[in-house]
Amino acid sequence: MRLPARDGIVQRVGEGDGVPRQMPASFVVRPAGAGIRLCTRCAEGHTALPERPRMTGRVPFSGSAPRLGWFSSSSGLLRVKYSPFDPVFVLRSSCGMMNHRHEERWILMGLTFTKMHGLGNDFVVVDGMNSRVDLPADQVEAICDRHRGVGADGVITVRPGRSQGSSAFMDYINADGTPAQMCGNGVRVTAKYLVDHGYVAPESGELLLDTRAGVKRLTFEANRGRLDQATVNMGPPELDPASIPVRADSDSAHRGMRFVGSLAIDTQWGAADLACVSMGNPHAVWFVGIETLPETLFAGERSLQGLDLTRVGPVLESAPVFPEKANIEFVTVEDDGLHMRVYERGVGETLACGTGACAVLVAAYLTGRSGPSSDVHLPGGTLAIDWRDDGVYMTGPAATVYSGTWN
């Protein structure tokens, strides 16, 4: 079934006045071929239609005239009516009982979002706290497209918390539609969304956030009810090769901690010497010797800023030793701290990466290039990273850019 470009949230039209009423759960209209996600129930209370009715024919939804289509399901029929000038769906179902009919009118709404960023690592944030939001991979890709969509490094859907005491769950999807286990900048952005939108009291100063990499504890500073800066305990780093994961053996040690500190990957520009760390997602840190690299690897001046990550990044990210790919950090050690650029798996180069900054500090400390705390300078700004006994702490800002509707 090919729906119009205005795929989004469906809401039931109110009785008589035609005003949309927010249901306890919203329903996402899926793109071509995926059907409509429903929860329509008949008067007797049993399910009249399954969540994903099976399509029996192809109905074009284009042009100015309304289009009608019938779709069968295991328990009845679904009729969909759509007009570009009157975007109302008429849903009619028969649950197989004599003279038992059910009809509701639903209106197609846009997907509301908030554009936010942490040091330029930008996200489209969708509120799923009180409504059901289910964005398929191709819709995430379309939203994140910087030329034809909103433009972002990924989409964060803020959902109800899964563990006791948690304020929410951060459901983060990369720009290519793949789920991510963790995103440091995304954690701070999600915390700001929760505080700024009243889900967490500004005066509380702390919250717990569920992620695919576990529960993260944050403390934050708020000004006039808005979060400005947050500190996140990202947890201890994972150094075991099988857990990162990387197909290599531990080759180094520091104070009893064994780790992969010198993984050589051959490239057409020479060998890249990588230290491997997981901060809930896999990272490979390359302390680059700028003067030793071939001239062909630089798009401009011979410096970290001039390094052409679009060439070397994809090669290292997808190296066979990384079964789940890896985020690649390019690092130099300077008097004012650690300077890095990052090529993120599933995204490409980003202006900042919170988990990457943590991985860089861990790798620098383990290899004797830094103490346990340092400023990490990224193209989008600076993060303060501190490796303590109970985990790696990251401190940095989060900002809101604007809110809008994806049609």
Active site residues: 183, 353
Answer yes or no: is 291 a known binding residue.
no
CB 119 within 8 Å of CB 185: yes
Distance CA 77, CA 281 (A): 45
Answer yes or no: is 185 a known binding residue.
yes
How far is the CA of 317 from the CAs of 10, 148, 314, 322, in angstroms?
39, 26, 5, 8
107: tokens are: 């209106």
Answer yes or no: is 329 a known binding residue.
no
Answer yes or no: is 334 a known binding residue.
no
Answer yes or no: is 355 a known binding residue.
yes
Strands 381-388, 391-397: pairing kind? antiparallel
CB 298 within 8 Å of CB 308: yes
- Tokens 């705390």 locate to 373
- Tokens 């520091």 locate to 254
Closest CA to 126 of 6, 2, 28: 28
Q: Which amino acid is at 124?
A: V
Q: What's the full length of the chain, in residues?
A: 407
Answer yes or no: is 345 a known binding residue.
yes
Answer yes or no: is 149 a known binding residue.
no
Answer yes or no: is 281 a known binding residue.
yes
- Binding site per annotation, positions: 121, 174, 184-185, 281, 327, 344-345, 354-355
Q: Which residues are annotated as a binding site for substrate?
A: 121, 174, 184-185, 281, 327, 344-345, 354-355
